[in-house]
Amino acid sequence: MRSLSLFGATGSVGQSTLDLVRHDAASWQVSVLTAHSDVAGLAALAREFQVKLAVIADPSRYDELVAALAGTGIEVAAGPDALVDAAKHPVDLVVAAIVGIAGLAPTMAALEAGHNVALANKESLVSSGALMMQAARASGATILPIDSEHNAIFQCLTGSSLEDVRRIILTASGGPFRTKSAAEMAVMTPAQAVAHPNWSMGAKISVDSATMMNKGLELIEAHHLFPIGLEKIEILVHPQSVIHSLVEYRDRSTLAQLGSPDMRIPIASAMAWPRRMHAPCQPLDLTRIGRLDFEAPDEQRFPATALCRAAISEGGGRPAQLNAANEIAVAAFLAGKIGFTAIVDLVKHVMDHESPVAPTSLHDIFMVDAASRQHAQILMDAHAHG
Ligand code: NDP
């Protein structure tokens, strides 16, 4: 039996992870579950999986969680520091599935404690990739990517050396607006943006997929996880989301990983690594799918990937700045405060008008993050009143 802690249990990746545990209950002991504010959801899961510790990130919900778990013997904690402490809890695997920069501190704590981390929380790696990779190296922890593209690359690299890799090709579905013009995109609503054609995901990553910022963030993720040089990582639009990414070796052999677009498949691969586990997912039926299509990305209509490339090329605090501005912009779009195309415009504006300090610590990353959020907010307020 293996033990796991799951950060972001009430989210889309969290639910998929727990579904896998339900199907293989004899093999897993869930020790820690966390959520942000969904007390009812967290308490129900904590009871179902008989966890040792349940943490609610919003400290104002502590009493509610205590009441919801009264008489169960489950320990309860609240607040960002409690998340960090929970990440040090001794387990075989930490699943990092919080959305946004809020996942960074617990993920770093888990890596520093030497825990293997199944990583979905891409914003932490985007903002703080160098520090995270360094922490993993220092403690001997392994980062097992859950993002389907990086999980595919990780699988295609098994048994091989990065030195032999000529190219990594990150596939992208193109999102719900793949065929839309810039003018059509400008009037798209949050409901239309979160309606992803292939994947069922949380709201933030769904909007990121629609702007293609998600692919840009993934480019930065890949740059840290598989350091072969940014110029050797390419993006290929593949609307069916069946090939999850490809690795081309110097002998021109190209390996790809395929599967139905179901997050339980990459999650199962990370959970069971270096072995395999049963996943209750649809088998890949290529006869039914019939054809696979590919297109070059269009950076005129979707400028986010170019911004991400520029951010990682410049390095320093740029990726953290970009990530923070994007989080603010996506939240504003989802709240109906700005239009769809204003998301990437806002990120670009912040990057054009502020040079972040080069971070050397987590503290510095949080400073860059806060400054970028504040800048994005000021720009939005000025726009709203202008
Ligand atoms: P969801 O929005 O569905 O879930 C987010 C989870 O994080 C919830 O448990 C939420 O708690 C918790 N959370 C939110 N804000 C905070 C906070 N400030 N502090 C602590 N916990 C918080 O997101 P997804 O599951 O879609 O995505 C999670 C991560 O995985 C993201 O980084 C995303 O990019 C990545 N990812 C997701 C994929 C997917 O298919 N969904 C695919 C690949 C990567 P509560 O419910 O209480 O709000």
Query: Do residue 173 and residue 318 come from a single domain?
Result: yes
Measure the CA–CA gap between 133 and 236, rounded to whole angstroms: 26
pTM, two decimals, is 0.98
95, 127, 201, 214: residue to mutate for ligand 1 pocket, most atoms within 8 A of CB: 201
Q: Is the Cβ atom of 11 under 6 angstroms away from ligand 1?
A: yes
Q: What residues form DSSP beta bridges with 56? A: 35, 78
Distance 317 CA to ligand 1 centre (A): 23
Query: Do residue 188 and residue 121 come from a single domain?
Result: no
Taking CA atoms only, the protein residue closest to ligand 1 atom 5 is 11
Is the pLDDT reported for residue 384 higher than 90?
no
Q: Which helix (H) or strand (E) holds 383?
A: helix 362-385
Q: Is 147 left (phi over 0), alpha (psi -120 to 50) or beta?
A: beta
**pLDDT for position 386:** 67
Q: Is the Cβ atom of 176 under 6 angstroms away from ligand 1?
A: no
Measure the CA–CA gap between 26 and 349, rounded to whole angstroms: 52
Distance 97 CA to ligand 1 centre (A): 5
Distance 296 CA to ligand 1 centre (A): 29
What pLDDT, in 10s, does the model give residues 234-263?
999 999 999 999 999 999 999 999 999 999
Q: Is the Cβ atom of 263 under 6 angstroms away from ligand 1?
A: yes
Distance 275 CA to ligand 1 centre (A): 26
Distance 205 CA to ligand 1 centre (A): 9
Query: Would you place residue 385 in the very low, low, confident or very high pLDDT band (cuts 50, 70, 90)?
Result: confident
Query: Do residue 179 and residue 300 come from a single domain?
Result: yes
Query: Do residue 100 and residue 128 come from a single domain?
Result: yes
Taking CA atoms only, the protein residue closest to ligand 1 atom 39 is 201
Distance 99 CA to ligand 1 centre (A): 3
Q: How many domains does the chain have?
A: 2
**pLDDT for position 219:** 98
Is the pLDDT reported for residue 198 higher than 90?
no
SS3 content of the chain, % helix, strand, coil (to 5): 50, 15, 35
Measure the CA–CA gap between 319 and 307, rounded to whole angstroms: 9
Query: Do residue 186 and residue 308 come from a single domain?
Result: yes
Instruction: Name the residue among 84, 31, 30 with its Cα closest to residue 57.
Output: 84
Mean pLDDT score, 108-113: 98
Query: Do residue 196 and residue 114 come from a single domain?
Result: no
Domain CATH number, residue 195: 1.10.1740.10
**pLDDT for position 382:** 86
Torsion 168-195-373-38 (CA) sign: negative
Query: Do residue 138 and residue 93 come from a single domain?
Result: yes
For tokens 């350091």, what's the residue? 227
Q: Is the Cβ atom of 116 under 6 angstroms away from ligand 1?
A: no
Q: Is the Cβ atom of 9 under 6 angstroms away from ligand 1?
A: yes
Q: Among residues 92, 121, 145, which one ends one of the domains?
A: 145
Query: Do residue 141 and residue 190 come from a single domain?
Result: no
Q: Is the Cβ atom of 201 under 6 angstroms away from ligand 1?
A: yes
Query: Do residue 130 and residue 216 come from a single domain?
Result: no
Distance 12 CA to ligand 1 centre (A): 7
Query: Do residue 255 and residue 335 come from a single domain?
Result: yes
Query: Do residue 74 and residue 185 come from a single domain?
Result: no
Query: Do residue 130 and residue 221 come from a single domain?
Result: no
CA dihedral 379, 381, 384, 385 (to 10 degrees): -110
Token readout for 133 is 């990779």
Domain residue limits at 296: 161-260+284-385
Question: Does the residue 300 lie in any domain?
Answer: yes
What pLDDT, in 10s, does the model give residues 353-379?
989 989 999 999 999 999 999 999 999
